[in-house]
Amino acid sequence: MHFELTEAQRSLREEARKFAREEIEPRARELDRSETYPEEILAKLGERRYAGLTLPEEYGGRGEGLVELALVVEELSAALMSVASSLALHLGVATVVERFGTDEQRDTYLPEMATYDTVGALGLSEANAGSNKLQMETRARRDGSEWVLNGHKQWVTNFLDADVVLTYAKTGPDEDAPHNVSAFLVPAAEFEVETVWETLGAKSVKSPRVTLSDVRVGDDRLVGEAGEAYVQRGTVHTGVNVPARGVGIARAALEDTVEYTRDREQYGGTISDFQGVRWEVAKMAERVDTARLLTLRAADRADRAEAGADVRRETSMAKIRATQAAVDNANDAVQLHGGVGYTTERDVERYLRDARLLTIAGGPNETHKNTLADAVFDS
C-alpha cells in the first residue's frame, strides 16, 4: 500500500496551489462580498485546461483521473469554494457528454468545454425533486423528429454564465423509473430565469431557478440512450468533487487558525499556548487528514473501478465525513479567531457560510448515510 502521491500528482497539486494562491486568494473576499462571478479566474483555468482536467487529451483535456480532480479541487476550494464548484459542475457535464454522447457531440462540445469557452451547467434538481431526483416534473415529449421540453430546473449552478445546460427530463412513464429519464444539451438561451436566490454562502456563483416552455431540440441534443440518463449518471463519479471541496475548506480553516492562534496574545502568552486551544487545533488537523484520506480513497476506487463497479461505500463515506469536517473546522476557526473571526476582515466567516452548502448539495448527507448503510448491508 502506498500513501504517497506520484511525482506527477504532487507537481499538479503544486501547480494548482500556486494558481490558487496567486490568482484566487487575493480576490476571494471581494468576489464574495460583491457577489461577482469569478469569470477571469475561470477563463485562466480554462487556458490551463483545468476545465478539461479529466477529459481525454484528444478532446483538448488533460487526461487526468479523479484523484487528480480531487487534488485540484481541494486547492481551488481552499482559496474560494465557488470557483471549485463552478469548475467541477462544468466538468461533470462535460464528462457525461464524453462518456455517453455521440462522436459528433464530443467533437462539437468537448474541445471548447476543456478551455471553458463553452460553459456547462447541470439541470437535474427541481423544486419537488431535491434529494429524490426521480420526482422530477420536467418532461420531454416526442414531436416528429424533435423533442419538446416543458418544466423547470432549480439550483442550476453557473447558469447565468452558461452556454449549455445538461437538462434531465422524463421521457417515459413513471412506472418505468429509473429508466424513464433522458438528458439533453439545451442552450442556456432557451430558458427563462425565474428566481436568483440570495444565499448564505457560495455568493459569487449563482444557482437560479429557470423554466423551459415548449423548447424544441433535435436528436443531436439528446445525450446517451433515451430513458437511460438517470441510470448512466450513477456510473459517473465526478461527484467526488464535493468532499474534495470540503477538504479544501477544512484545511484552509485549520491553516488560518494555526497562524492566528500563534500570533494572538492574551494573558501574557499566545492563545496557542492554551491546552484547550491546542486540542481544538489537533482535532481540526485530524478532521482534515481523515477527510482527505477518505476522499482520495473514493477517487482512487472510482478511477480503478470498471464501469458499474460498486463504489457507494467509499464515495458516500467521503461525502459525509469531508463535508462535515468543513463545517466543523470552519465553525471552530470562527471560535478560535474570537470577535475578528465574526467579521469579514477574515476569511473564516466565509468558510463557514460556504461549508454549510456542502452537507446539502450533491445530495444531503442523510441520503448518503442511507446509501452507505445499503452498501454495508449489501456487502
| Cα 193–chain centre separation | 22
The three cell numbers of residue 82 are 465557488
155 lies in the binding site for ligand FAD (CB under 6 A): yes
Q: Measured between alpha carbons, how far is 253 from 352 in angstroms, rounded to an integer?
A: 9
Among the listed residues 86, 105, 115, 125, the single contact to ligand FAD using CB under 6 A:
125
**Residues 6 or more apart from 81 whose CB is under 8 A from it?**
201, 202, 245, 248, 249, 354, 355, 357, 358
Strands 146-153 and 164-170, sheet pairing: unpaired
Taking CB under 6 A as the rule, does residue 366 contact ligand FAD? yes
Report the largest interatomic distance among the alpha carbons of the chain, rounded to a whole angstrom: 80
* DSSP H helical ranges for 101-240: 103-114, 229-233
Using rule CB under 6 A, residue 229 touches ligand FAD: no
Pick the binder of ligand FAD from 99, 370, 371, 375 (CB under 6 A): 370
Selected from 157, 167, 182, 204, the binder of ligand FAD by CB under 6 A is 157
State the nearest-atom distance from the C-beta of 145 to ligand FAD, in Å. 28
167 binds ligand FAD (CB under 6 A): no
From residue 13, alpha-carbon distances to 16, 17, 264, 274 in Å are 5, 6, 31, 34
Shortest reach from residue 192's CB to ligand FAD, in Å: 17
The rounded distance, in Å, linking the Cα atoms of 272 and 269 is: 8
Instruction: Choose which of 6, 11, 131, 343 interacts with ligand FAD (CB under 6 A).
Output: 131
Interaction pattern, residues 74-113, with ligand FAD; x per rule: CB under 6 A: ---------------x------------------------
Shortest reach from residue 228's CB to ligand FAD, in Å: 18
Binding to ligand FAD (CB under 6 A) within 29-58 occurs at none
Q: Is residue 156 a contact point for ligand FAD (CB under 6 A)?
A: yes
Give the C-alpha separation, 12 to 6, whole Å. 10
Pick from 186, 202, 212, 372 the residue near ligand FAD by CB under 6 A.
202
Position 212 contacts ligand FAD (CB under 6 A): no
- Using the contact rule CB under 6 A, the part of the chain among 150-158, 279-287, 314-322, 326-334 near ligand FAD is 150-158
Residue 121 to residue 157: CA distance in whole angstroms: 6
How many other CB atoms are there within 10 angstroms of residue 304's CB atom? 12
- Nearer of residues 138 and 329 to ligand FAD, judged by Cβ: 138
3-class state of residue 310 by DSSP: coil
Whole-number minimum distance, CB 85 to ligand FAD, in Å? 7
Q: Measured between alpha carbons, how far is 323 from 285 in angstroms, rounded to an integer?
A: 15
Cell 500570533 sits on residue: 263
120 near ligand FAD (CB under 6 A): no
> Which residue number, 131 or 343, has a Cβ lying nearer to ligand FAD?
131
Per CB under 6 A, 363 contacts ligand FAD? yes
Contact by Cβ (8 Å): 80, 34: no
Residues that contact ligand FAD, how many (by CB under 6 A): 21
By CB under 6 A, name the binding residues for ligand FAD: 89, 122, 124-125, 130-131, 155-157, 199, 202, 207, 357, 360-364, 366-367, 370
